[in-house]
Structure 1
Amino acid sequence: MHKRFLEWIASAKGVRQLINIYGPYFGAGVKVTYINKDFRQANVSLPLRWYNRNYVGVHFGGSLYSMIDPFYMLLLMNNLGKDYIVWDKSADIEFIKPGTGTVSASFIVTDEMLTEIKAKTANGDKFLPTYSVIITNEDGEVIARANKTLYIRLKKVAA
């Protein structure tokens, strides 16, 4: 493949653009509005549309969950590198109030998170951290809280 294309597809801008045309996100109306160059932060939004409303006219819960699904995994994979396995393990979401209008969520990977992951996995053990995500409406009110548990460990080195 062309070198420039490979560089683009691995960049934060390329990843953001690809996610935005990825069928499940495009179809749900999820929009990745920002991923910073070092993959330490991502922001997503979801406008209320006729195709992502539930029976009573507010955001469908599945769409709210899908908007936050892969982002901690994605950010951590890009920060930890190819020596680590990073998977989503489990999640829960609590709906606080009806979501109307455009809702959004932010994900931040800190130095402390990376230090803890590296320390807990240094001897080959798995680490199952849980990170919280807040979904807010346009007024900054919390409409949902989710917890994402990840599975992280160093890849085994072939003997």
Structure 2
Amino acid sequence: MTIYQKIAKVGPKLIGQDKLFKYGFNWLPMYRRSTGRIVSVSKDLTEVTMRLPLSYRNRNYVGSIFGGSMFSAVDPIPMVQLINLLDSQYVVWDKSAEIYFKAPAREDLYADFVFTEQELEQIKRDVEQQQEINLIKTTQLTNKARDKVFCEVKKTLYISTKAHYKKKRAKRQQAKAEQS
């Protein structure tokens, strides 16, 4: 168990899951380096808002926000959010990502990460039927008014039951052992 997982077990009892999510992300060294900041988290974790301010720390050669900062500010949120929204019988992994730059960002950017109750129920049904699924979640980085898109990130998340995932890993390890 990582230090982050240990904090995730104890923290909600002390300060609440939503505050732990917000302040935990904002203080994690790896997330701080992205220059993104979580500005709000709903009590039930279904809605998270992130701000990526334009600053000397993320400004590129031409004066706009560096694309790597855009991606790294968005990257971990959907996976960690979904891990916390689903119960402990599920495995969630980042599988792949695509990033599309639409316009140079010379102002603060915002992104909203939303999982609806219907979406969560559909995920559970699909995993129950198929044992594992790939979910594509799209996030747009916009201006504060949300009327201009500067960047779009499509994340593919792998979701499975823990039981299925363990069986799959065991089969893979057995196949590797037989090849050796």
TM over 0.5: yes
Q: Which runs of 4+ in 1 moved over 6 A?
A: none
The separation in 2 between residues aligned to 1:75 and 1:7, in whole angstroms, is 18
Letter in 2 for 1:91: A
C-alpha displacement at 1:124, in angstroms?
5.8
Which structure has the larger Rg over C-alpha atoms? 2
1:123-156 per-position Cα deviation (integer Å, ceiling 9, x unaligned):
4621101011111023431001111110001110
**What's 1:149 paired with?**
156
1:37-79 per-position Cα deviation (integer Å, ceiling 9, x unaligned):
1110100001111111111110000100111111111221111
Q: Which has the higher helix share?
A: 2
The separation in 2 between residues aligned to 1:134 and 1:6, in whole angstroms, is 29
For 1:31, which of 34, 37, 53 is the aligned residue?
37
**What's 1:22 paired with?**
28
**What's 1:52 paired with?**
58
1:71-104 per-position Cα deviation (integer Å, ceiling 9, x unaligned):
1112211111110001111110100000112101
The separation in 2 between residues aligned to 1:11 and 1:153, in whole angstroms, is 23
**What's 1:68 paired with?**
74
1:106–1:5: structure 2 CA closer, same or farther, 3 Å change rule?
Answer: closer
Which of the pair has the greater relative contact order for Cα pairs under 8 Å at 6+ separation? Answer: 1
**What's 1:132 paired with?**
138
Letter in 2 for 1:155: K
Q: Number of aligned residue pairs: give it.
A: 158
Identity among equivalent positions (%) equals 33
C-alpha displacement at 1:9, in angstroms?
6.2
Letter in 2 for 1:40: T
The separation in 1 between residues aligned to 2:145 and 2:44, in whole angstroms, is 29
For 2:123, which of 87, 106, 117 is the aligned residue?
117
1:5–1:119: structure 2 CA closer, same or farther, 3 Å change rule?
Answer: closer
- Could you list the runs of 5+ residues in structure 2 that have no partner in the other structure? 1-5, 168-180
The separation in 2 between residues aligned to 1:145 and 1:35, in whole angstroms, is 21
